[in-house]
Amino acid sequence: MHAALDAYLKHLRSERQMSPHTLAAYRRDLLKLLELCDQQAITAWAQLDVRSLRSFIARLHQQGLSGRSLARLLSATRGLYQFLIGQGVCQHDPANGVSPPKRERRLPRTLDADRALQLLDGAVEDDFIARRDQAMLELFYSSGLRLSELTGLDLQQLDLADGLVQVLGKGGKVRVLPVGRMARQALEHWLPLRALAKPVDGAVFISQQGRRLGPRAIQLRVRQAGVRELGQHLHPHMLRHSFASHMLESSQDLRAVQELLGHADIATTQIYTHLDFQHLAAVYDGAHPRAKRSKAGQHASVISEDETRPKRARPQSSENINEQAEPAPTPDQ
């Protein structure tokens, strides 16, 4: 069983080009599955059945494993069995029809447009680290890059003349993205300083020793920028979420945002429509004189009618809510 598992992981790494982080998560999940098989004296993948797998999922859930983690374990199991069926090792998939416990869907955290501009529009010192960090922040927000995409970015993937960047996304999929004006300017300030550090390869973002910055180093620099400029926790994916949310608010083009983010399934992108509704709901609650909420748990905070009712003024119509909402600037602004 170990040999078949190793062959599958090798397939994910070499042919599917799965990221090291995701590959490590799949390995952990499938080793848990192997442990289950050992406990039940199962000696071949073909012997694992639906009943045993469902019992195992229930036990892990009782032990506190989240629905999200269990969904990933089942996804890894389905992938393994698809591979084994293709290899002629098995003829069934025990994960077929097994669903993880329903999990709460958490909305991604974002910066609003004003906070994003506050982060990026501060004074930047003309030195190696400041210029590099500013270019990273601008590119994250301008193009909605994943951390792995920015970490692996090479000079040959940048076309500043045309304002484009080519990135290698999940599953080895390549996409070409626009680079906004402010991000181009930040990169133009950074690249001459980069050249002085005698880089050891073509990495766009490097240390003062000339080596490519790793994911943890970039996360640290982004977190420090968040504390320094905003007084809050900030991580690279929050900038990607902010890019997506602001693009959707401004364009209302879900398909375009899906392409920019590199999502294979538009359902993944639709999470940002919930954020857009939250924004509209907040505008409504702040503007309408009868927007009081009495039930706990609704999207808006409770506002007293005394606070919202205008004095000696004609009540505002809810039909004008959208006109009250100032559209968020695009990432280029």
pLDDT in tens, 199-240: 999 999 999 999 999 999 999 999 999 999 999 999 998 998
Higher-pLDDT residue of 202 and 243 is 202
3-state class (DSSP) for residue 114: helix
Residue 216 bears catalytic tag:
no
Domain ranges of the chain: 2-86, 107-333
pLDDT > 70: percent of the chain: 78
Give yes or no for residue 105 having a pLDDT over 60: yes
**How confident is the model over 44-68, as pLDDT tens digits?**
888 888 888 888 888 888 888 888 8
Give yes or no for residue 319 having a pLDDT over 70: no
Catalytic residue among 131, 146, 212, 246: 146
Among 41-45, 253-257, 276-280, where is mean pLDDT lowest?
Answer: 276-280
**Report for 30-44, 186-200, 277-291, 309-323: range of highest mean pLDDT:** 186-200
Confidence of residue 192 (pLDDT cuts 50, 70, 90): very high
Residue 240 bears catalytic tag:
yes
Catalytic residue among 8, 26, 141, 272: 272
What's this model's pTM, rounded to 2 decimal places? 0.58
DSSP-assigned beta bridge partners for residue 162: none
Residue 146 bears catalytic tag:
yes
2-86: CATH homologous superfamily? Tyrosine recombinase, N-terminal domain (1.10.150.130)
* CA–CA distance, 14 with 8 (Å, rounded to integer): 10
pLDDT > 90: percent of the chain: 32
Report pLDDT for 55: 86
Report pLDDT for 48: 87
> The tokens 């390995």 sit on which residue?
27
> The tokens 């080596």 sit on which residue?
211
Give yes or no for residue 186 having a pLDDT over 80: yes
Catalytic residue among 32, 237, 292, 293: 237
> Rounded mean pLDDT of 66-84?
88
107-333: CATH homologous superfamily? Intergrase catalytic core (1.10.443.10)
Confidence of residue 247 (pLDDT cuts 50, 70, 90): confident
Catalytic residue among 170, 189, 279, 293: 170
Residue 119 CA to its chain's centroid (Å): 19
Task: Count CB atoms within 10 A of the CB of residue 25.
Answer: 16
Catalogue the E-assigned strands of the chain: 158-159, 164-168, 174-178
Report pLDDT for 64: 80
**How confident is the model over 15-42, as pLDDT tens digits?**
877 778 888 888 998 998 888 888 888 8
3-state class (DSSP) for residue 299: coil
Report pLDDT for 217: 95
Mean pLDDT (the chain) is 79
Catalytic residue among 131, 184, 240, 246: 240
